[in-house]
Amino acid sequence: MKLKSLAILAASAAVLATSVTVTPASAYEYMVPQLVYRTGPYAPNGIPLANGFIDYMNMLNERDGGINGVKVKVVECETAYNTKVSVECYENLKNEGDSGALVFNPHSTGVTYALIPKATSDEIPILSMGYGRTSAADGTVFPYIFNFPTTYWSQASAFIKYIGDREGGMDKLKGKKIALVYHNSAYGKEPIKTLEVLGEKYGYELMLLPVDHPGQEQKATWLQVRRGKPDWVFMWGWGVMNQVAIKEAAGIRFPMDKFIGVWWSGSENDVAPAGEAANGYLAGTMHAPGSDFAAIDAIKKYVYAKGNGAGEESRVGEVLYNRGMLEAVFTAEAINNAVNIHGTKEIRGKHVRDGLEALEMTEADFARIGLKGFMKPFKVTCEDHEGGGPVAIQQWNAKDGKWVMVSDWIEPMKDIIRTLVKEDAAAFAKENNITPRNCG
């Protein structure tokens, strides 16, 4: 028995020694954490987002040897879209690797809210691309939070401009009724103030219809729509709520081309269960759908062809995949900027913050990356972390099974939105004793 124990001990020691001596010292890497939800009720949306991100970073590692010759290490932490777990993930990952966490993508508005004070204190930037706290667009109050290329408030104003155009002019909105069907959470409530302010200006009536998590049952909500007879329905949904809403809208024969979802309600997942009935459904977007881009070809060549893809190749180019990829593009560009600004490859989160703040994406930049025509150019500044806010409308073509852009890039109502952002940011600063930065 004693001999057996000794033998096991010796074998264990040998294995341990081998693992220590054989494993080479790892080179300096850029650690980019990802708060992902590949499980739980929102997994169908979380998976393509996470896949798009990691595939792009893997492509950079394979094709270019990383960013400026430094490999990118993506570390995923599973959150199941749970805010408490997400915060634990943040705490566990913030000091991971030589570089520490360079930038966090929370993938949840609620989590973004929770991380704002922590990330600011830890000097790690948060990239909440097209979600999160809209007033974080004010970089003087939120130096570490970025929500470019556009925000919920900008999107809401773009929707109003779009329907104004469809109705034949903004003056025609007077007397119209708009219903907002929204996820009853911090995320879903984001556009309400903007829509109320714009309602006062343009004279439309706003009808608010909250839907509780997860949104599997919405008959009463859509009976309200039937009862209220709105001219337009906007939806701020996520997960199963989107699929059920589109199906219920079809069930009451609400015209799909007057039903517009937020960009988180406009993926292939959302329209599939409704089948033909979803034809004509509209959704906001910040980028083009599809896979006809050189960057996606590169992902297929350097990642999928080698059997290293995160998901199924047939799903590369779907809306949420492209959005995850776009997050990776901006993260990589910001890291590159940080290296150029600070003249060293060994950077930390605070340096990437500078890189994010100096981000300017021109048409030439998108062409260089392999995303020509993918989205509208924008520029982030110290003061403006939203970077412009262009929004387009895409429409679901059920026959061909694809999203098609049906509008030009719509400029949001910047004068109104910026005023609201400033007001909200100032209130936050006062509440939290923050002295706004001077961006000069």
Partner 1 sequence: MDVLYALLLQPFVFMAQEPLIFAETVVKGLMAGVLYSLVALGFVLIFKASGVFNFAQGTLALFAALTLVGLMEKMGDGLPKAAIVVIAIVATIGVMILLAMIVERFVLRPLVNQELIILFMATLGLSYVLEGVGDLTWGSDVKVLDIGLPDGVFDIGGVYVEQLDVVAAIVAGSMVTVLAIFFNKTRIGRALRAVADDHQAALSVGISLQQIWVIVWSVAGMVALVAGVMWGSKSGVQFSLSLIALKALPVLILGGFTSIPGAIVGGLIIGLGEKVVEVFWYDVHGGAVENWFAYMLALVFLMFRPQGLFGDKIIERV
Question: What residues make contact with partner 1 under the rule CB under 8 A?
Answer: 38-41, 43-44, 47, 184, 208-212, 214, 216-217, 219-221, 223-224, 226-227, 239-240, 243-244, 247, 250-253, 269, 272-273, 275, 277
Smaller CB separation from partner 1, 150 or 269: 269
Measured from the CB of residue 425, what is the shortest distance to partner 1 in angstroms?
A: 27
Backbone angles phi, psi at 210, to 5 degrees: -75, 150
- 317, two tokens: 């180019």
How many C-beta atoms lie closer than 10 Å to residue 319's C-beta? 26
Smaller CB separation from partner 1, 315 or 342: 315
The 3-class secondary structure across 262-289, one letter per residue, is CHHHCCHHHHHHHHHHHCCCEEEECCCC
Measured from the CB of residue 223, what is the shortest distance to partner 1 in angstroms?
A: 5
Measured from the CB of residue 172, what is the shortest distance to partner 1 in angstroms?
A: 27
Identify the DSSP state of 103.
-
Smaller CB separation from partner 1, 92 or 216: 216
Measured from the CB of residue 272, what is the shortest distance to partner 1 in angstroms?
A: 5
How many C-beta atoms lie closer than 10 Å to residue 21's C-beta? 8
The 3-class secondary structure across 370-437, one letter per residue, is CCCCCCCCEECCCCECCCCCCEEEEEEECCCCEEEECCCCECCCHHHHHHHHHHHHHHHHHHCCCCCC
Residue with tokens 């805010």: 83
Please list the alpha-helical segments (H only) found in 65-169: 83-93, 109-122, 152-167
The 3-class secondary structure across 295-344, one letter per residue, is HHHHHHHHHHCCCCCCCCHHHCCCHHHHHHHHHHHHHHHHHHHHHHHHCC
Q: Are strands 259-261 and 232-236 parallel, antiparallel or unpaired?
A: parallel
DSSP H or E segment with residue 2:
helix 2-22
Measured from the CB of residue 263, what is the shortest distance to partner 1 in angstroms?
A: 18
Measured from the CB of residue 271, what is the shortest distance to partner 1 in angstroms?
A: 10
DSSP H or E segment with residue 230:
none
Smaller CB separation from partner 1, 203 or 214: 214
- 311, two tokens: 């998901």
Smaller CB separation from partner 1, 246 or 326: 246
Measured from the CB of residue 321, what is the shortest distance to partner 1 in angstroms?
A: 12
Measured from the CB of residue 241, what is the shortest distance to partner 1 in angstroms?
A: 9
Q: Are strands 360-361 and 378-379 parallel, antiparallel or unpaired?
A: antiparallel
Smaller CB separation from partner 1, 272 or 382: 272
Smaller CB separation from partner 1, 279 or 336: 279
Angstrom CA distances, 253 to 155, 189, 217, 226, 275, stand at 26, 26, 18, 9, 14
Measured from the CB of residue 356, what is the shortest distance to partner 1 in angstroms?
A: 31
Smaller CB separation from partner 1, 217 or 346: 217
Smaller CB separation from partner 1, 160 or 180: 180
Identify the DSSP state of 206.
E
